[in-house]
Structures are given as structure tokens and as C-alpha cells.
Amino acid sequence: MVSKKIAQALAGSSVIRAMFNEGKEMAARYGAENVYDFSLGNPATPAPESVNRSIKEIVDEMDPLELHGYMSNSGYEDVRRAMAENLNRRFQTSFDAHNIIMTVGAAGGLNIIFKTLLDPEDEVIVFAPYFGEYKSYAANFDARIVEVEPDFASFQPDLEKFTGKITAKTKIVLVNTPNNPTGVVYTEETLQEMAEILRKKEQEFKTDIYLVSDEPYRELVYDDVKEIFLTKYYHNTIVGYSFSKSLSLPGERIGYVAVPDEVADAENVIAGLEVSNRTLGFVNAPSLIQKAVSRCVDEKTDIAFYDKNRKLLYEGLIKLGFTCIYPQGAFYLWMKSPDKDEERFVQAAKKYHIIMVKGAAFACPGYVRLAYCVSPQMIEKSMSGFEELAKEYGL
């Protein structure tokens, strides 16, 4: 018999993965070129050529005992220094190697942050709609997820509702900008105001509230939107980063956590993250890819590729009468379901071989998510199906 916790997890197993598998089945039945699968956030542009080149050079150049051996649980010192210097250059921070812990992607990073900070029953505030895995990560440490309903006009965090949700048990406020699933980038005003609210609540409750910024999409911004780094707004900010999307390396499992010295109890937090990397069984982030990303840290994925897809999909759907949130970052489009029951809408779309994810998977029913990290040809071909779908709903 599996544990009660796992039995529960299995019952609520990832909707996105289920959709992805369904897409594979449909592809086998109708031919991959006739299925329009917008379900998964798997990058659609290859990693920059310099990543592969660096891997080959590192394998040829480095002492294998050092390259493949155990190391500090935080990662190689020179790699952490390279991450710190990159952030300092871009965001005027003053990090050193000791502020950086290399992690097994953003997921590994969030889990070590949660393990380090959370006691059972502590509260983690999240803003709906949000990446569903946050729930599993909180459950790993018996913490409670507290959801804040969205502002349906803008999908910026609703700060009034947020203020009402903060309690003496709030330990973490988890934000994600650019956002999965909405594609929204938090505005300067949102971040300033959120910081002000947190400062006041820390004083009111005499507690430390950590703002945890989950930033796997940091570089994926469009139009004139600037890349932002959240530590400048609020003293108690910890950043989790990943190269999964920015360098198209999700299978390599590489990212980092950055902890500024001004964070409450910073020394213990950093030591706790290091221990958590070990005791959660990651031990350290994979060595070869640590070295590779440190050589490619100034590189970026092909933003123009995603931008083109973004415009194709957004403009195509708007023209057909669908209501979508204009995405300024990440590679997701958030669309209002024309059916009150978005699950029924998702099912209806399958008739036209279109696969999308229901909003309920992100704690926000009534909407659907379309991941446009696909080929532009697929988006173009999918439009006749969307047209049929729009007709079916009388748009």
C-alpha cells in the first residue's frame, strides 16, 4: 500500500500531463501534423549552440574527477560566482558566490526553499491562477496553500484581497512573473504596493514574511517590457531561477536560488538551503550542466520565435471573437472560456484536434491555457479548427 499522502497525490495527479498524454494518443490516431497540442510548456526552440559546444569543451578540458565528483551541496564555487556576477551586472545587486545555491531546476529550488522555511501548518500565499505544482511542493512540508482570487480585469494580483489573506501564520508569499499560466508581467506599481503591504504586515504580526519569486520566465518578455529582478522591492525576497525555459534545458534540471544578505536570518537560510539540497536527495545540482550554464549565462533563447507565435495566436483568436489576456511574457496565452464550464469547452476543442488545459488546473475555472511554445505552422494550421469552435459557441 502506498502512503496516504501519495494516494492523495495520485488522485489529483497532474491534469497537464494527462492532456499531454492524450495529445500523444491523438497524434498516433490522426497523425501528428493534424493535432494541435497547446498543453505543455516544453520549449520549442533548441538550446543555443554555445550550450552544446560548452559541454563538449568542458568534457575535453576538465579533470574528470572534478567534473564528475561530489562537491559542495551549493554547487561549484566558480559557477555560483558567475551567477552572482551576471545578476550584479544586470540588476545592480551585490551578490557573491555565498548568496547563490545551484539547484535542480526551479522545482528543486522551490522545494529547498519550502523545506528551509516552512513548519507544518505555516501558510504559503499564492495568487490564482498559479502553477499547480506549488500545491504539491507545499504538501511535501505539510504547509497550507492560501489562494488569493485574481483581479479578472488585469490578472495582476488583487492586492486588496491579498491584504486580507495575510495572517500571523503567513511565512511565504509566492509570486511568479512573467506568469504561468496568464503571460502577465507584474507592473512596477503592483510590486511596490505588494512590498508596502508586506512591510506593514511584518510589523503588525511581528513576523518575518518571505517573498519568494519563482522566475523561470524572467527573460521571456515582449514589446518594451523590461526584465525584472524582485529583490529591489522588498528586503525579505528570495529568488528561484531556472534555465529550463531561458536556455531551453528543462531535461537537464538546472537553476539556482539567490538569497540577498539583507533577508531575515540570511546566514541560516543559506545554510538551510544547502542542507536541504542534500537531505531532499538532490545532493547537488548536476555538475556538467552547472559548468555549461556558467559559460552561457549571458545567452538567451530565441525570444523572436516565441514573440512571433504569441502574435499569431493572440491576433488569430481575437479575430475569431475569443477573449484573451494580452500576454507580455512567458509563452502562455490565457483565454476566457466561452462556455461557463471550461471543461466542456476543452472537450469540444478536441473534436477539432485542439488540446488546451482547463483553468481549474491553475485554480481558476472559466479560463483555459494555451502554451504557444510550438511551431508557428501548427498555430497557423490550428486556426480553421478554432474557427469551427468559435462558430459552435456563436462568437
Please report, as ranges, the residues that interact with ligand PLP according to CB under 6 A.
41, 105-107, 131, 176, 180, 214, 216, 242, 244, 250, 255
Looking at the Cβ atoms of 106 and 195, the one nearer to ligand PLP is: 106
Looking at the Cβ atoms of 238 and 389, the one nearer to ligand PLP is: 238
State the nearest-atom distance from the C-beta of 130 to ligand PLP, in Å: 8
Cα(87)–Cα(356) distance, integer angstroms: 35
Report the Cα 69 to chain-centroid distance in Å.
30
- CB of 227 closer than 8 Å to CB of 185: no
For β-strands 354-355 and 36-37, DSSP reports them as parallel
C-alpha cell at 25: 494518443
State the nearest-atom distance from the C-beta of 106 to ligand PLP, in Å: 4
Looking at the Cβ atoms of 176 and 287, the one nearer to ligand PLP is: 176
Looking at the Cβ atoms of 97 and 113, the one nearer to ligand PLP is: 113
Count Cα atoms within 13 angstroms, Cβ side, for 145.
22
Looking at the Cβ atoms of 136 and 163, the one nearer to ligand PLP is: 136
Cα(161)–Cα(127) distance, integer angstroms: 10
Looking at the Cβ atoms of 313 and 389, the one nearer to ligand PLP is: 313
For residue 350, the SS3 value is helix
State the nearest-atom distance from the C-beta of 216 to ligand PLP, in Å: 5
State the nearest-atom distance from the C-beta of 147 to ligand PLP, in Å: 15
Looking at the Cβ atoms of 364 and 389, the one nearer to ligand PLP is: 364
State the nearest-atom distance from the C-beta of 70 to ligand PLP, in Å: 22
State the nearest-atom distance from the C-beta of 214 to ligand PLP, in Å: 5
State the nearest-atom distance from the C-beta of 327 to ligand PLP, in Å: 14
C-alpha cell at 183: 503571460
Cα(118)–Cα(110) distance, integer angstroms: 11
State the nearest-atom distance from the C-beta of 40 to ligand PLP, in Å: 9
* Other beta carbons less than 10 A from residue 231's beta carbon: 22
State the nearest-atom distance from the C-beta of 113 to ligand PLP, in Å: 12
DSSP H or E stretch at residue 315: helix 303-319
For residue 124, the SS3 value is strand
Looking at the Cβ atoms of 35 and 107, the one nearer to ligand PLP is: 107
- CB of 270 closer than 8 Å to CB of 259: yes
DSSP H or E stretch at residue 307: helix 303-319
Q: Where are the alpha helices (DSSP H) in 92-239?
A: 105-117, 133-140, 159-165, 188-205
Cα(91)–Cα(232) distance, integer angstroms: 9
Residue 329: exposed, middle, or buried by beta-carbon count in 10 A (0-12, 13-18, 19+)?
buried
State the nearest-atom distance from the C-beta of 369 to ligand PLP, in Å: 11
Question: Looking at the DSSP assignment, which residues form a beta bridge with residue 136?
Answer: none
Looking at the Cβ atoms of 107 and 355, the one nearer to ligand PLP is: 107
Where do the DSSP E strands lie in 224-382?
237-242, 255-258, 324-325, 332-336, 354-355, 357-358, 367-371
- CB of 205 closer than 8 Å to CB of 168: yes
Looking at the Cβ atoms of 47 and 389, the one nearer to ligand PLP is: 47
